[in-house]
Chain A
């Protein structure tokens, strides 16, 4: 299982808000495709999927504010 954390967005950015997930739990996603869109300040930022696999669990839901580095999802990588 691969854990997805909220990535570093810049030196002074500590958190961001989940705007929406591009895929739902149980759906397949390929590596580098947009996984989740987050917003911070005047920017939207798409977090790419780190691997190809099934999005097993969404930890941070839409509208939630998340600290950089915190766990937001788990993906079961394809064999």
Chain B
């Protein structure tokens, strides 16, 4: 890790469709490729969506009829990992980081992404941790934080999702991460605290700043036209 803080632009969206946010991430990545531009961090919430990582098998969508009936989009995400779900009440963070500035080490990058979530949760008295061979963030045997990235030219896309106060019953439609009988949990379920998403974003950003030693420039919320990617 370098001693000097790394400049990072922060984009926050109360809600943004998955595909639209992916397009923004790719544009941010292109900006780094073309001009050596700064890192970007997207802090968002998505309308309900199921995404398939590279290792995903279709049968990990356990209830395809319900998925179809409810019109839930299923998207090939091109990231690492298996199937996952994003939904309201889940905080999603996409670091589009030039890993040349962060040490060119995929495992360490994932470790730091998990560390960001563990620190976040510890502020609410939740002792979360890692499980050997099972990436992500766990509270005992329940999963609360997810991780999946895609790196091209050592620039990352995709990232992490953290269950804050989402409807956990929705996860019954899938076999999250392709793991049988995987139980998921959320901050709300564990603490009975209802954490407003604005506060959660602000706090997660502080954890990113600490773990990745960032110097952040916040861009105005929900003002796409002001985003000069």
**Which A residues fall within an 8 A CB radius of B?**
8-13, 19, 32, 34, 37, 39-46, 48
B79 interface neighbour in A34, A44, A48, Cβ under 8 Å = A44
- Asked if B169 is at the interface of the complex by the 8 Å CB criterion, the answer is no
Known A9-B105, A13-B106; contact A41-B135, beta-carbon cutoff 8 A: yes
Chain A residues whose CB sits within 8 angstroms of the CB of B110 once the complex forms: 41-43
Known A39-B54, A42-B147, A44-B149; contact A13-B80, beta-carbon cutoff 8 A: no
Chain A residues whose CB sits within 8 angstroms of the CB of B129 once the complex forms: none
Size of the B side of the interface (Cβ < 8 Å), in residues, is 23
B55 interface neighbour in A12, A34, A39, A46, Cβ under 8 Å = A39
Asked whether A44 lies within 8 Å of B105 as measured between CB atoms, the reply is no
Q: How far is the CB of B157 from chain A (nearest CB, A)?
A: 9
- Write the B77-118 contact mask toward A (1 if CB under 8 angstroms, else 0): 011110000000000000000000000111111100000000
- Please report whether the interface of chain B is mostly helix, strand, loop or mixed according to DSSP: mixed
Residues of chain B from 31 to 70 with CB closer than 8 A to chain A in the complex: 53-55
Chain B residues whose CB sits within 8 angstroms of the CB of A19 once the complex forms: 54
Chain B residues whose CB sits within 8 angstroms of the CB of A9 once the complex forms: 105-107
Asked whether B81 lies within 8 Å of A42 as measured between CB atoms, the reply is yes
- Asked if B184 is at the interface of the complex by the 8 Å CB criterion, the answer is no
Chain A residues whose CB sits within 8 angstroms of the CB of B153 once the complex forms: 32, 46, 48
Could you give 29 example pairs across A and B, Cβ below 8 Å? A9-B107, A10-B105, A10-B106, A11-B105, A13-B106, A13-B107, A19-B54, A37-B54, A39-B55, A39-B80, A40-B80, A40-B106, A41-B80, A41-B106, A41-B110, A42-B135, A42-B136, A42-B148, A43-B79, A43-B109, A43-B149, A43-B151, A44-B78, A44-B79, A45-B106, A45-B150, A45-B152, A46-B150, A46-B151
B106 interface neighbour in A32, A37, A43, A48, Cβ under 8 Å = A43
Residues of chain B from 128 to 161 with CB closer than 8 A to chain A in the complex: 135-136, 147-153
* Most B-side CB within 10 Å, residue of A13, A45, A46: A45
Q: How far is the CB of A32 from chain B (nearest CB, A)?
A: 7
Asked whether B107 lies within 8 Å of A10 as measured between CB atoms, the reply is yes
Asked whether A44 lies within 8 Å of B108 as measured between CB atoms, the reply is no
16 more A-B residue pairs beyond the given contacts A42-B80, A42-B110, with a C-beta to C-beta distance below 8 A: A9-B105, A10-B104, A13-B106, A39-B55, A41-B80, A41-B107, A41-B135, A42-B135, A42-B136, A43-B80, A43-B109, A43-B149, A44-B53, A44-B54, A44-B151, A46-B152
